A = this chain, B = another copy of it.
Amino acid sequence: MIRLGILGYGNLGRGVEKAVMHTTDVKLCAVFTRRDPSKLSIATAGVPVYSADDLAAHKDDIDVLILCGGSANDLPVQTPEAAKLFNVVDSFDTHARVPEHFANVDAAAKASGKVGIISIGWDPGLFSLMRLYSNAVLPEGSDYTFWGRGVSQGHSDAIRRIEGVKDARQYTVPVSAALEKVRNGENPTLTTREKHTRECYVVAEEGADKAKIENAIKTMPNYFADYDTTVNFISEEELKAKHNAIPHGGSVIRTGTTGDGSNKHVIEFSLKLDSNPEFTSSVLVAFARAAYRLNSEGVTGCKTIFDIPPAYLIDKSGEDIRAHML
Q: A18-B260, A132-B314 are in contact. List 11 more A-B contacts (CB 8 A).
A: A18-B259, A99-B322, A133-B313, A136-B314, A138-B282, A263-B273, A263-B279, A266-B271, A268-B270, A304-B322, A306-B321
A15 to B318, CA, bound (A): 30
Taking the closest CB of chain B, its distance from the CB of A144, in whole angstroms, is: 13
Taking the closest CB of chain B, its distance from the CB of A69, in whole angstroms, is: 19
- Judging by beta carbons under 8 Å apart, are B311 and A309 in contact? no
* A135 contacts chain B at the CB level, 8 A cutoff: yes
Which residues of A come within 8 Å of B, CB atoms? 15, 18-19, 22-23, 95, 98-99, 102, 119, 124, 126, 128-133, 135-140, 258-260, 262-275, 278-279, 281-283, 286, 304-311, 313-314, 318-319, 321-323, 325-326
Taking the closest CB of chain B, its distance from the CB of A127, in whole angstroms, is: 9
- Judging by beta carbons under 8 Å apart, are B321 and A132 in contact? yes
Copies in the complex: 2
- Judging by beta carbons under 8 Å apart, are B137 and A286 in contact? yes
- Judging by beta carbons under 8 Å apart, are B286 and A136 in contact? yes
Taking the closest CB of chain B, its distance from the CB of A15, in whole angstroms, is: 7
Taking CB atoms, residues of chain B closer than 8 Å to A273 are 263, 265
- Judging by beta carbons under 8 Å apart, are B286 and A259 in contact? no
- Judging by beta carbons under 8 Å apart, are B258 and A19 in contact? yes
Taking CB atoms, residues of chain B closer than 8 Å to A274 are 262-265
- Which B-chain residue is minimally distant from A133 (CB atoms)? B310
- Judging by beta carbons under 8 Å apart, are B271 and A132 in contact? no
A232 to B275, CA, bound (A): 48
- Which B-chain residue is minimally distant from A131 (CB atoms)? B325
- Which B-chain residue is minimally distant from A123 (CB atoms)? B326
- Known A-B contacts A131-B325, A310-B132, A321-B132; A259 and B272 likewise in contact (beta carbons under 8 Å): no
A309 to B23, CA, bound (A): 23
Taking CB atoms, residues of chain B closer than 8 Å to A136 are 286, 310, 313-314
Taking the closest CB of chain B, its distance from the CB of A285, in whole angstroms, is: 8
30 contacts between A and B (CB under 8 A): A22-B140, A98-B322, A99-B319, A126-B133, A126-B137, A131-B325, A132-B310, A132-B311, A132-B313, A133-B310, A135-B314, A136-B314, A137-B286, A137-B313, A258-B275, A259-B275, A262-B274, A263-B273, A263-B274, A265-B272, A266-B270, A266-B271, A268-B268, A269-B269, A304-B322, A304-B326, A305-B326, A306-B310, A306-B318, A307-B309
Taking CB atoms, residues of chain B closer than 8 Å to A258 are 15, 18-19, 22, 275, 278-279, 281-282
Taking CB atoms, residues of chain B closer than 8 Å to A133 are 126, 129, 310, 313
